[in-house]
Structure 1
Amino acid sequence: MNHDKIEGNWKQLKGKLKEQWGKLTDDDLDVIAGKREQLLGRIQERHGIVKAEADRQVSEFEARNPTFVFEKSQ
């Protein structure tokens, strides 16, 4: 996916992420910037859950928000 499109979608999605994972801060979201692995790490850290659970939650979030695609690690 085009990086500009990811960035534009990211700005729209920040509010939804804060609703889902309320312990994420604006600074966390700035660091994450649409990157899935960064999101997983911050969710684990802020919510005290294991990576598998964070991955499950993010996968469910992605299923509910199909127009948004996280940037995958290379």
Structure 2
Amino acid sequence: MPLDKTWERRASGTLKAELKRRGVTYAQLASRLREIGVAESEPNIRNKLARGKFTAVFLLQCLSAIGATTLHIGD
């Protein structure tokens, strides 16, 4: 598997795990993002996480929207 794909899967998996840990659905994430001024639809969020292609800005916005204050990146 190409190295970029590995990192994309890891980024996506990390965000998905944080959502699951907090019991936040994609619809709820979209709503919480709107509350902080970020316009993302549920299908768009689903697609970004499925592809694993999103910016660090989007990652930080999501983590902020769900109230994450720490992030474990290790294996």
Same-fold call, TM cutoff 0.5: no
| TM-score, normalised by the number of residues in structure 2 | 0.34
